[in-house]
Structure 1
Amino acid sequence: MEPLLQGAIIAAIALAAFLLGMPIAFALGFTSIVSIWLFLGPSQVDLFGKFVFDSTNDFGLLAIPLFVLMGNVFGGSTVSKHLFEAGEAWLSRVRGGLAMSSIVASAVFAAISGSSSATAAAIGGVAVPEMEKRGYSQRVAAGAVAAGGTLGILIPPSVTLILYGIASEESIGQLFAAGVIPGIIITVMFCVWIYIATGIDQRRATRIVEREFAVAAASEAAAGRTMTREAEPSGTATSVLTRQSGDIVAPTYSWPTKWTALVKVLPFVFLIVAVLGTLYAGVATPSEAAAVGVVLVLLLVGVAYRGLKGKQFLKILLDTTNQSTMILMITAFSGVIALVLSFLRVPQELASIVTELDVNKWVVMIVINLVLLVMGLFLPPVSIVVMVTPILYPLIMGLGFDPIWFGIIMTINMEVGLITPPVGLNLYVLKGILPHIALKDIIMGSLPYVGVLGLAIALFSFFPSLITWLPDLLY
């Protein structure tokens, strides 16, 4: 049987398992066992255990539960609100400043946690209620936090980049360095969109007020009365003027307050520098840097800020165990499928066919991006990266693309999947912590950021040095 046909059958089995509603990890495990039975023979099913061990027998994977624990300690304490408060103090007078502060807080939190869902949950619980109080629409508020959460898999330390580095055997340190500048640029792009979106929101609200005022004025005129904006005759529709002004309330902060808020987050900036600095300096491996981060965040949150109680810490440990187990199970079973595909020579065959085609390599890259976007609609980033990297890596190398650059492009594609239904993880995380906001409003508020991320992919494709410059400089 042709390798590509075998690969298509394995993909069909996995898709059927997903559609039957099996949990993703178990669907991948089922697919891997069936694939071994079908293509390697029933007598080889015992290879499943060996393949699982081979897929997880990597010291680099130790970084994942450690970074997850670091993020959970920070997000599960009362300290994460300091990030948002600092952003609010410095950006409150800018149009959309409160929403921008949630994006900036998400970017900093991402540099501590490496997890998108943890970032969305930690910042969303603090930021969205505050934005609602200040007059932001639910769509703008929820959309900003959902999009900001996606930075968790791009800005280092990133679980997704760790898995890509292990699957492709590329330097995780270089991948982390490559994610820094794109993370900053996308953060700025998100803030620019917020500035535009809040302006549109305010103009829309103002038009509604003007229209309802005109209706109320006409009603008063018909009754022989004159109405001004300052007046609000009892029993008329002009009460809308007191309910809905279209303005966002922006408090004023004194300079001492701003500096105090900034000082409170400086220890976490030190934490980020310490963790990533030890990695970039070559002093520690990613796993060792993650261990340093766990110790430092425990000292900061638990001792310096006293923001961690005994029961909270127990819950954090349980959550970390659950999340890490899920990630590692998906990694193990996805790795088995990747090993089976490699044994069947599916990646090699695909790379050979594509490189022999008389097609511009950027056409192939566009197709790869579209495939990744579609996969992101249905699968979490972890499973996509582990399954797809062994297939695409020989292909991009054959086409002459930089594998570090491609790792960042793939990660941005995964960001899109986090805020697009039906599986967009950040959408459901926010719905869980903000049950009063309709899922439709969370989705509609997030969709514009899909376009922003699409622009980012185009930007980094035209100017790849934005990704490669820092790792080339450091390494």
Structure 2
Amino acid sequence: MSSLTQGAIILVIAMVLFLSGMPIAFALAITAIISVLLFLGTAQFDLFGMMVFDSLNDFGLLAIPLFVLMGNLFGGSTASRQLFEAGEAWLSRVKGGLAMSSVLASSVFAALTGSSPATAAAIGRVAVPEMAQRGYSSRIATGAIAAGGTLGILIPPSVTLILYGIAAEQSIGQLFAGGIVPGIVITVMFCVWIFIASRLEERRSRRPDALPLHGVKEYVAKHYTWPERFVSLAKVLPFGLLVFAVLFVLYRGIATPSEAAAVGVVLVMALIGIGYRGLRGRDLIKVLLETTNQSTMILMITAFSAVIAVVLSFLRVPQDLAALVTEMEVNRWVVMIVINVVLLVMGLFLPPVSIVVMVTPVLLPMIIALGFDPIWFGVIVTINMEMGLITPPVGLNLFVLKGIAPHVPLKEILIGATPYVGVLAVAILLFSVFPQGITWLPQLLYGGG
């Protein structure tokens, strides 16, 4: 039996378990156990425990629960409201400005948390009711929040980029640097689409035969004086300083990603305690429990995905797949298109964490053999994973929005979020044509690609 056939068998086992509806971590665990027994033999089953331990015995993984804690601390405070109000003060009189301010607030919040669901939930709780009061349709409102929340896995610190860096044995600092420019560009692209969608919606509402959109009423722009705008900006200045402090100690080589995450947690706790009235005891316990649950889920997925990756590597599946592709003499961009389509399909059913940990060891030898930069590829994969967060049936951000806005039909949320999938596809195309948009900053900061 060829290695590729053995790899296909493992894939089929995993997909059957995923589609059964059981938690992803357990499906991966069962797949890993069956793979070890099937291809390594019962005599080697003790290796399973060793592989699980070795996959988690990595200091770099400590950054994950720390960054998750940092995000949950912000989500439990008044931070999200402060960010949204600052964006509203500066953009409320622009067509679609309130939705744009939601995206901008999401981008800043994403830089503080690294979590897309946390970003969508924290900003959405504040922004969706505000936009409903100001006459925004539910499509514009929920679509902007769902899409803005996806920035959490791209703008550093990003759990997805951390896991890719560990799986691909690439510099997490370079990956973080590579995500900054795309994060800014995609934020701007989201705002441009919001402006276009708002204009189209306005024209549609003026047609005599137009049907009313869900949640639309007369729009009333709130007026802010210039002093009020600058005061709102001053309130969010500590957030910017916090992001700068965490990234500074990381990029200057003062601290590892895990140490930088620890610095971030300490600064967040100090900032919330001093400037944002802190968290009550009950809220703090809730934050700690949520952090424990989320971190445990991520690390379980990481551990069992790593076991599967070790088995695949032992069977030489990645190496033989890379050799097969290079021998086919197919244009490397055709291969990249196929990879992105496969990742998009996987994103319809699986969370980004599990996809990144599973596919990176398999795809990386092929990517390097085709001459692609692994830092560039890591960011492209992450942008692709953003699509999965806003596409059914498992689009996590869609269900987060449904949870915080139960009065809005899921169909309306889906219609509002779908155009942003196209925006992200355009972003992938853009950074494929101009890869320097990703690689320039890592090369500037680290002197290499």
Q: TM-score, structure 1 length as denominator?
A: 0.92
Partner of 2:82: 82
Looking at structure 2, the residues matched to 144 and 122 of structure 1 have their Cα atoms a distance apart, in angstroms, of 13
Q: Does 1:303 align with 2:274?
A: yes
- Inter-CA distance 245–142: structure 2 relative to 1 (3 Å threshold): closer
CA distance in 1, matches of 2:291, 2:334: 41
Q: Are residue 418 (structure 1) and residue 389 (structure 2) matched?
A: yes
For residues 19 and 335 of structure 2, what CA distance do their matches in structure 1 show? 28
Cα offset, 1:246, TM superposition: 6.3
Match of 1:365 in 2: 336
1:272 and 2:271 matched? no
What are structure 1's unaligned runs of at least 5 residues? 214-239
CA RMSD of aligned residues (A): 1.4
* Alignment partners' CA distance in 1, 2:88 and 2:387: 26
The Cα shift of 1:47 comes to: 1.4
8 Å CA contact 1:99–1:141 kept in 2: the answer is yes
Match for 2:95: what amino acid?
R
Matched pairs, number: 445
The letter for the 1-side match of 2:392 is: P
2:372 to 381, 386, 401: 401
In the alignment, residue 53 of structure 1 is paired with which amino acid?
Answer: F
Q: Residue 107 of structure 1 corresponds to which residue in structure 2?
A: 107
1:165-223 Cα deviation digits (max 9, x unpaired) = 0000000000000000000000000000000001111122222xx4489xxxxxxxxxx
Tell me the residue number matched to 1:263. Answer: 234
Displacement of 1:302 in angstroms is 1.9
8 Å CA contact 2:77, 2:276 repeated in 1:
no
- 1:383 corresponds to: 354
1:448 aligns with 2:423: no
1:168 aligns with 2:162: no
Q: Flag the 1:34–1:95 CA change in 2: closer, same or farther, 3 A.
A: same
Q: Quick one: distance in 2 between partners of 1:41 and 1:2?
A: 17
Q: Give the superposition deviation at 1:440.
A: 1.0
Range 244-253 or range 397-406, more displaced = 244-253
Q: Distance in 1 between matches of 2:60 and 2:215?
A: 54
Displacement of 1:299 in angstroms is 0.4
Report the more deviating stretch, 3-12 or 301-310: 301-310
Structure 1 pair 245/404, CA: closer, same or farther in 2 (3 Å)? closer
Q: 1:203, 1:246 within 8 Å by CA — same for their partners in 2?
A: no
Matched, 1:348 2:308: no
**1:337 Cα shift?**
0.6
What is the CA-CA distance between 1:79 and the residue it aligns to? Answer: 2.5
The CA distance in 1 between the partners of 2:37 and 2:184, in whole Å, is: 47
1:447-466 matched pairs, under 5 angstroms: 447-466=418-437
State the AA in 2 paired with 1:124.
G
Report sequence identity in percent: 72
Are 2:178 and 2:441, in contact at CA under 8 Å, matched by a contact in 1? yes
For structure 2, which runs of at least 5 residues remain unmatched after alignment? none
Moved over 4 A (4+): 243-247
Alignment partner, residue 293 of structure 2 = 322
> Is structure 2 residue 5 aligned with structure 1 residue 5?
yes
| Structure 2 residue 188 is the aligned partner of structure 1 residue 188 | yes
**Counterpart secondary structure, 1:80:** helix
The farther-off stretch of 160-169 and 295-304 is: 295-304
CA distance in 1, matches of 2:222, 2:47: 63
Answer yes or no: is the 8 Å Cα contact 1:205–1:245 preserved in 2: no
Q: Distance in 2 between matches of 1:468 and 1:247?
A: 45
Q: Equivalents in 2 of 1:314, 1:302: separation in Å?
A: 15
1:26 maps to which residue? 26
- 1:420 counterpart SS class: coil
The residue identity in structure 2 corresponding to 1:27 is A
Counterpart residue number, 1:199: 199
Structure 2 Cα separation of the partners of residues 2 and 266 of structure 1? 58
Report the Cα distance in structure 2 between the residues aligned to 1:305 and 1:380, rounded to whole angstroms: 32
After superposition, the Cα gap between the structure-2 partners of 1:145 and 1:212, relative to the gap in structure 1 and judged at 3 Å, is closer
Write the distance in 1 (CA, Å) between the matches of 2:97 and 2:417. 18
Task: Give me the TM-score of the superposition, normalised by structure 2.
Answer: 0.97
What is the one-letter code of the residue matched to 1:306?
A: R
- The question of whether the paired residues in 2 share the 8 Å contact of 1:205 and 1:244 is answered with no
C-alpha deviations, 1:22-44, integer Å up to 9, x for none?
A: 11000000000001111111222
Aligned to 1:312: 283
Q: Secondary structure at the match of 1:253?
A: coil
Larger radius of gyration: 1
Q: 1:212 to 1:272 in 2, by over 3 A?
A: closer
Matching residue of 2:309: 338
Encode CA deviations 1:379-432: one digit per residue, 9 max, x unaligned: 100000000000011000000000000000000000000000001110111111
1:244-269 CA distance string (max 9 Å, x none): 98653211100011011000000010
Counterpart residue type for residue 123 of structure 1: I
Q: Give the Å deviation of 1:303.
A: 2.5
Distance (whole Å) between structure 2 residues aligned to residue 148 and residue 347 of structure 1: 34
Query: Does structure 2 retain, via aligned residues, the 8 Å contact 1:202–1:246?
Result: no
* Distance in 2 separating the partners of 1:193 and 1:70: 30
Shift of 1:307: 3.5
